[in-house]
Every structure is written in structure tokens, then in C-alpha cells.
With several copies, the nearest count.
Chain A
Amino acid sequence: MEHDHVEDGDQVVFHREGWSRVFQIRRKRQVYLDKTKLDVDALIGQPYGSTFEVDRGKLVKIEGPAASELSLGETSSDTGTDNRNLLDLDSNQKMSKEDIMKMKYDGITGQKIIEELIENSETFKMKTEFSQAKYLKKKKKKHIPVFTVMRPTPRLVLDIFSKDPSKICYLRADSLSQLLSYSNVMYGSKVAVVETCQGLVLSCLLQRIGEAGKIVQLIPSNTNAVCRQVMDYLGFAKFMENVYSFPLDELSSLKDDRSFPSLNSKYYDKIETNEDGVSSGQYNITVSNGSFCDGGESLTSNENAEAQGSDEAFDGESVAPDLTEEYGDCGNAETEGAKIDSGMQMEVKKLGPNRELQRQRREKRQKEAGTIITEKLDSLVIACKYNPTPILMQMLSYLHPSSSVVVYCQHLEPLVECYTSVKDNHAGLQLKLSETWFREYQILPQRTHPKINMSGTGGYLFTFITSQSNSESFAPQS
């Protein structure tokens, strides 16, 4: 099923270390990459794993050593012993910004530009080897846009949000990966999820249940929309029949047998056609840039934050515009000149023709979701901008005993509340409240050290195992 070469319509990751962008590849399509308009036609038919350099809006395949290994000739062998004679002056570099811009405009390659920069630096040769390497790395990153074309995976997609982690509630690889572990979600699991992470958590869980499991995404009724952007990135449209939506508001109705007779979910599976994944598309349309948590600002600028209404808070923050530009063809940030054709947008069109049919389908899907819930779930995962405690406590009765529950939150305080509620209600075992220290290292000869910048927080996790509250006593042994 998985092809080794990029095909028309594929979602493709442009990747270099710690940086990723996703684009859907279509013939004649142009995308924006780091403010450069780019023709992606050339990718079709190329094997995944190929490396490309951007050269005047064209993609040029690099054979041989990968981008990160690009050598810089003899220049770096000429080194000073230390920096004692260096003064920090702007005049050290004889080339001006204008010179560089002109070179780029003239189509000089980044490699060549860097060589020129070195040639025109008064101090480069006097710098220590260490300083030279640092200089080169900085310049390479700036002037040589090189990337490798990869098939999207959750790992690569996570990189996309590194510039604006608030979009995914500040989930980091370590917290997301532990969320997945502690949820114990596996092939065939029945899972309930509440997430406002652009569908990232949903997608990861979906990948793990395979075609045999079921996921019900619980959606607050008093929210306008949920975003599942990441589902598109990962090309998960085909799995949509395993994903259901259910309004949190209706949970209590499940306890009333009259309105929700216990349906045989298998019956519904048969009627359901493959395309009906669309039925939950209702929640798929509006992209929410909002970040409720971030409505809270540092105390210094607090008046500002308090003044915002909740609607405004939903409409996103100042960083959003920058970001959407980078997203290229994703969601509401369609690139100019490119045809509107993302998976999401197509669904909108499909929804149009027969509203009544869609409504019926939606209703049927929701009933099925209700059945999945009432027949009890194996796992519950919460990673959202809603207050988690009421949701958690509401959901506990729909979990098998010995099920796995994970609540992720950017803040510690709400999880303290969750912990206390579960503890006080004797609703779980192995309660764990934790955060993770995540650190990356630079491993280089004679220059090994932890990276200079690190993330101060990847959020907090509260995990536990559900338990039966009333014990079954059995006869002590004689």
C-alpha cells in the first residue's frame, strides 16, 4: 500500500534537522517555503528520502552526501588558536547585505555565497576551529535551503509545531510519547479522547489502534469547532471510519436507556460506507488557532489579557500569522496562487450537495459512538484547553476497570485537581503526576555538551489505572 516514491496527491514532509513542513504534492503546484515560492512538480516520482536544494524557485536533487554533511572545502583548515586578538566589530565582514541579496538574485548558490563570506571576513582565519565551525553552521542554515523529502510520521509532524507549541498545548515528544504509552492504546483498543492539539493526539492514537479499534472524540458542545489538521498531514482520511465524534454535552443522556438503546455496533459498521468518515467532518472545517490557556498572560501585561473576551481569545494570538504562512497549504493558510484543494477543503465541498443525508449520517454515527461509550472503553486520553477535572470525572463510569487513563495539561494546577478528585473518589490506582526533563546534546569531537537552548516545559501528565471501587470478597483460605 505504501509506495516508495512521491506520488501526485501525497502529503510530504520537507525535513531538515529539527525543522519540518508538510505539503500536499500536486502537479503544477507552487508552495511557499521560508518566503520563497517553490515549484514542487519535480518531486513526483522521486524516492522518499531524497534530498533537495532550492535553487531560484526550483528543486534540485542532491546526490551523494546529505545536506548536513555539505563540506566547505579547505577554508576551515586555517585556524587561529584562540580569540584573543579579535574585536567584535561590524566592519569585520566586507560584504554588505545588499551584496548578498544581489548574489541570491543572480542565482548564486548558497554554497558559493558562504565561500564568498569567508573570503571577505577579516577575522575568520583568526578564529578558533570551534568558532569557525559555529560560524559556518550559522551561515549554512541561512543560505543553503536544503531538505529531505520524507513520508509524514507523528515524529516529523511534531516538528512543524516547534515554532508555535501553543497550538498543540505545548506537547513535546517526551510528553506525547508517554501519553501514548500510558494510554495503553493498541491494535483493537476502544478509546475516548478529548484533545485540542490540532488532531495530533487523535492521529497518533488512530495510528496505534490500526483498522480494528475505535476512537470516540468527545467534543464540548460549547465550542465552535475542533481542528483535526494533523489527520490530513498524516494522510489518515482512509481511517476515518474508526473515528467518531460525540458531544460531551450528551454524555449524561447515555445513562437513559430510552434515548440510546444499546445498538449493535457491528450492524452499523455494515451500512457505513468508506466515505462516511466525512460525517464527522463537521468538526473538521473551522480551524481554531485559539489557545485558551494563553489567554492568561504574565502578570506584567495582565490587564491586557483580562480585557479580551473569550471569543477573542479563541481567535488566536499574535504569533499565529507568522505561522500560518509557514504551514503552506494547510487549513486556513492556503498559499496564494495555489489551487484550493487540501483534503479538508474538499470535504467541505462534499458536504454541500445533500445536507439532509449528511445530517442523517451524522446522527447515525453519533448513535454508534454512544454505543461504543456505553459498552465501555479501554482507555481515556485528555489533552486539551478545557478544564479537565469535570470531563475526567464524567467519563470514569464509561471505562472498564483496569483501564488506562492519561490526562495531559500545559499547567500543573489543573492536574493537581484531577489527582485529588480521583484520589478522593477512590477511582484509580497507580496515580502518577509527572513532568519530564528533556535535553538534547551536541555530540562533536572535543565539543560535546548539552544543547545551549532547551525547552523549559513540555507540560505535565497525570496517569492512573481505573479500579473497581467495591471489593469482591472471597473466602480466606483455610
Chain B
Amino acid sequence: MSFNANKHNVGCGDTVLLYVGYDNMLPVVVEKGKTHQTKFGAVKHDDLIGKQFGTRLQCPRGWIYLLRPTPELWTLSLPHRTQILYTTDISMVIFQLDLRPGSIVAEAGTGSGSLSHAILRTIAPKGHLHTFEFHKERSEKAREEFHLHGHAQCVTVTHRDVCGEGFQLEHTVDAVFLDLPKPWECILSAKRAMKKQGGRICSFSPCIEQVQRTCEELSAKKFTDIVTMECLARHFNLQYAKLQNVSFKTIDETIDPQAEADSEPPVKKANVTPSSRDRRGDSDMHHFTSAVPAINMPGHTGFLTFATLTSNDVN
């Protein structure tokens, strides 16, 4: 239930995230009498019950925070059963599929449920997600998770290979999402699943050849407005950066007749300068706050193809 907007205190059976550090969260289901080990020491579940989300806990060796799970934080902390979708793509999918409270959605496959959680947040409480997974164990795990997270009413998890057997839904959904190796094989079934008023479809594929076949099939099945896109998040790190200021002699120093008279080579003289300046510490430094893009970033997740089925073309 902890994904709910109106929940502000931790209860028994709630999933909470123990925030240990940036992008480092442990998902925990609170159960009376249990204990959880973190790198900062043990956490007794009994101590969590009744606490407000956001509470900072003093553990033996450091602080951890008790966070309310959001689909975004869940995506960062969920147990990976497959490759997952991340928030940049997920956001685009939800937006481009026109999802909102009350929408009916079909999803294949369920995978690790990363996208499912974001869909459920958007369509709850009156919408419904039909999610399909061809891997039995995964579909069971997902069902458990959805129940634990208070989504039981809004989701139906089915263990089925939609490519072979289809969605078996007749004009019931507003939107279809496909993350399958051969999405083109179930475009027709997806079309049949769409409401008579029409709807939106999305296919996520890592390879361009998959996209090409999918677009061909979408076009053949009278989907319109077929658009393929890619979005990549680029994160900035904030740095207190510094660059060394080089020293320039003023003209006065330069034409110092004493130095000339000594016929001391300029190089020598120059060499004396740095050490004395260095000792002053950072006075020779140019300081600034710099937003530096992360050196390594995801270069590709997948191509997102969206299309519309209008009421005209449903049959």
C-alpha cells in the first residue's frame, strides 16, 4: 500500500526503501520481529512501524533514510529478473500512450515490472493493467509484488506467450505496450485488443531491424502516425572545479634592470616563481562550480515506436 499517495506512515506489510546513498536503496517489506542488515548496521523492522516516510534513522555506523517507494525509486532498487526499462523511457511511454486515471492497458512482457509500476500509478484506481509474461517464474514474482504494493485491484498478470497465443482481449484496452523480441508477430492481436474508439500502441526494441519490421507491420495493419524515437538521460555532476591561474609578470617586473644586469637566464628566474606561489595554496586557483556531464552514460536503451489506431481503422 505504500505506493499510495495518502500513505504517510509505515505500516506492517508495507514495502519501504532503506536509502543508504545515492542510487543505493534496499527494498524491504516490513514484518513484525524481522531484522534487516545494512552496511550501516542492523535495522529492526519493529522500529520502522509507525514512522513517517522520509525519517532519518541513526544506525550504528551511519544514517539511513526511510523512503516511500515511488515507481522511479522502485526502478532503481527492484530485483532484476530481466533487463528493465528506466525512467526516461518509461516516462515517454506513459505520456505518448495518453495514459491517465481510468485507462485500460495491455503490456507484454511484464519483465521485472519496472514499467508496470509506473503504468499502475498513472491509471489507478479505476484503470486496469493486463500484463503478460511468457516466463512462468517471473509472472508469479510480478503478481506477488503487485499484490504487496497494493495494486491487486488494478492488475491482471497472465503467464502466456502473446506472440504465439495473442492477448485474447477483444476491444477492451486504450493502449498496448510491447517489449518483445518479435513485436511484429502480435500487432494483429494488439489491434484486436484495442477499444472500438481506437487507441495507442508502443513497441520498445533495442535493434533497428526489429523496429523496421514492426513499423512495416504497423503500417500494414492500418496504424497511423507511426513515430520512432529514442531518448537518453544525460546527468550532470556538480563539481567545485578549479583551474590553475598562470602567472604573468607585470611590465614593471619585466624591465627590472637588476635582472637584466645579472644576465640571469629568464628561465631560471621563472622557475623560482612557482614554488613560492604554490606555498600560498589556492590563491593561484580559479574556482567555479561546474555542471559536468557524467563521463559514462547509457548510449542506448532501445527505440520507442508509437502509433495510433483510429476508430476508422479498428476493423
Q: Do chains A and B touch in the complex (CB under 8 A)?
A: yes
Residues of B within 8 A of A295 (CB): 241-242
Q: Which of A413-433 contact B (CB under 8 A)?
A: 413-414, 416, 419-420, 423, 429-433
Q: A210-B101, A441-B211 given as contacts; is B206 within 8 A of A436 (CB)?
A: no
- Indicate with 1 or 0, residue by residue over A222-237, a CB within 8 angstroms of chain B CB atoms: 1110000000000000
Distance from A141 Cβ to chain B, minimum over Cβ atoms (Å): 15
Out of A50, A130, A366, A453, name the residue touching B267 (CB < 8 Å): A366
**What are the residues of chain A within 8 A of B4 when measuring CB–CB?**
188
Does B228 contact A476, Cβ atoms closer than 8 Å? no
For B56, the chain A residues whose CB sits under 8 A away are 467-472
Do B73 and A249 touch (CB < 8 A)? no
Contact residue among B73, B222, B292 (Cβ-Cβ distance under 8 Å from A430): B73
Q: Is A401 an interface residue (CB 8 A)?
A: yes
A71 CB-CB contact with B under 8 Å: no
Q: Which of A430-477 contact B (CB under 8 A)?
A: 430-441, 443, 445-457, 465-474, 476-477
Report Cα–Cα, A447/B226, bound state, in Å: 15
Given the contacts A298-B237, A438-B231, A457-B295, A450 and B300 also touching, CB distance less than 8 Å: yes
- The yes or no answer to B156 lying at the interface (CB within 8 A) is no
Name the CB-closest residue of A to B280: A310
Q: B5 contacts which of A69, A187, A411 (Cβ < 8 Å)? A: A187
Residues of chain A with a CB closer than 8 A to B57's CB? 471-474
Complex interface residues of chain A between 125 and 154 (CB less than 8 A to chain B): 128, 130, 148, 153-154
In this complex, what residue of A is CB-closest to B68? A402
Contact A208 B101 (CB under 8 A): yes
- Asked if residues A84 and B254 are in contact (CB atoms below 8 Å), the reply is no
Contact A208 B228 (CB under 8 A): no
Residue A213 interfacial (CB < 8 Å):
yes
A429 near B98 with CB under 8 A, answer no
- Expressed in whole angstroms, the Cα–Cα distance for A170 and B267 within the complex equals 30
Binary contact track B273-300/A, C-beta < 8 Å → 1, others 0? 1100110011011101111111111111
Structural contact, B240 and A305, CB atoms closer than 8 A? yes
A258 → chain B closest CB, angstroms: 7
Pick from A305, A436, A455: contact of B88, CB under 8 Å: A436
A477 near B42 (CB under 8 angstroms)?
A: yes
Question: Does any Cβ of B come within 8 Å of A398's Cβ?
Answer: no
Which residues of B sit under 8 angstroms from A51, Cβ to Cβ?
A: 310, 312
The answer, among B118, B224, B228, B270, for a CB contact under 8 Å with A247, is B270
Instruction: State in angstroms the CA–CA spacing of A347 and B5 once bound together.
Output: 32
Contact A359 B243 (CB under 8 A): no
Interface contact A476-B42, CB-CB below 8 Å: yes
Q: Does B31 count as interface, using CB distance less than 8 angstroms?
A: no
Shortest CB-to-CB span from A52 to chain B, Å, is 11
B229 touches A439 (CB 8 A): yes
Chain A residues within an 8 Å CB radius of B19: 429-430
Q: Which has the most chain B C-beta neighbours within 10 Å: A69, A305, A450?
A: A450
Given A153-B98, A176-B95, A430-B23, A390 and B246 contact (CB-CB distance below 8 Å): yes
Interface positions of A from 254 to 311, Cβ below 8 Å from B: 255-256, 258-259, 282, 292-293, 295-300, 302, 305-306, 309-311
Contacts of B303 in A (CB 8 A): 441, 449
Q: How large is the interface on B (under 10, 10 to 19, 20 to 34, 35 or more residues)?
A: 35 or more
Distance of A217 from chain B, by nearest CB (Å): 13
Give chain B residues whose Cβ lies under 8 Å from the Cβ of A220. 244, 246-247, 274
* Residue from A4, A213, A423 within 8 A of B311 (CB atoms): A4
Q: Which residue of A lies closest to B25 (CB)?
A: A430
Residues 27-79 (chain B) with a chain A CB within 8 angstroms: 35, 41-42, 44, 47, 51-60, 63, 65-68, 70-73
Closest to A283 in B: B267
A190, A385, A457: the one contacting B293 at CB < 8 Å is A457
CA–CA, A220 to B248, complex, Å? 8
Inter-subunit contact B243/A476 (CB<8 Å):
no
Chain B, residues 99-112, CB within 8 Å of chain A (1/0): the string is: 01110000000000
* Chain A residues with CB under 8 A of B235: 432-434, 456
Count how many chain A residues have C-beta atoms less than 8 Å from C-beta atoms of the other chain: 142
Interface string of A159-191 (1 = CB under 8 A from B): 000000100001001101110111010111110
- Tell whether B172 is near chain A: CB-to-CB under 8 Å: no
B-contact 0/1 string along A374-408, CB 8 Å cutoff: 00001000000111101100100000111110000
Please measure, in the bound complex, the distance between the C-alpha atom of A405 and the C-alpha atom of B216, giving whole angstroms: 41
Q: How far is the CB of B39 from chain A (nearest CB, A)?
A: 14
Could you tell me the distance in whole angstroms from the C-beta of A433 to the nearest C-beta in chain B? 4
B189 contacts chain A at the CB level, 8 A cutoff: no
| A450 contact set on B, CB distance < 8 A | 230, 299-300
Report Cα–Cα, A419/B290, bound state, in Å.
12
| Residues of chain A contacted by B270 (CB below 8 angstroms) | 221, 247, 249-250
Chain A contacts for B71, CB-based, 8 A: 181, 184
> Is the CB–CB distance between B51 and A472 below 8 Å?
yes
Minimal beta-carbon separation of B109 from chain A (angstroms): 9
Q: Which residue of A lies closest to B53 (CB)?
A: A402
With a CB–CB cut-off of 8 A, which chain A residues contact B300? 449-452, 454
**Residue of A66, A297, A359, A403 with highest tally of chain B CB at under 10 A:** A66
Q: Are A224 and B299 in contact (CB under 8 A)?
A: no
Contact B137 A87 (CB under 8 A): yes
From B66, B101, B216, B246, give the contact of A221 (CB < 8 A).
B246
Partner among B121, B181, B249, B293 whose Cβ is within 8 Å of the Cβ of A249: B249
Closest residue on chain B to residue A462 by CB atoms: B236
For residue B253, which residues in chain A have a CB less than 8 angstroms away from its CB?
A: 252
A350 interfacial by beta-carbon distance below 8 Å: no
By the criterion CB–CB under 8 Å, are B250 and A252 in contact? yes
Within 8 Å of chain A (Cβ to Cβ): is B168? Answer: no
Q: In the assembled complex, how far is the CB of residue A405 from the closest CB belonging to chain B, in whole angstroms?
A: 12
B248 A187 Cβ-Cβ under 8 A: no
A-B contact pairs, 11 of them (CB 8 A): A66-B312, A180-B91, A184-B72, A221-B246, A410-B292, A414-B288, A435-B234, A439-B229, A447-B207, A456-B297, A472-B58
Add 8 more A-B contacts to A297-B239, A310-B284 (CB < 8 A): A68-B225, A84-B135, A223-B274, A385-B244, A390-B245, A413-B288, A416-B291, A467-B56
Chain A residues packing against B (C-beta within 8 Å): 4, 15, 17, 47-51, 65-69, 82-85, 87-88, 128, 130, 148, 153-155, 165, 170, 173-174, 176-178, 180-182, 184, 186-190, 207-208, 210, 213, 220-224, 247-253, 255-256, 258-259, 282, 292-293, 295-300, 302, 305-306, 309-311, 313, 359, 362-363, 366, 378, 385-388, 390-391, 394, 400-404, 410-414, 416, 419-420, 423, 429-441, 443, 445-457, 465-474, 476-477
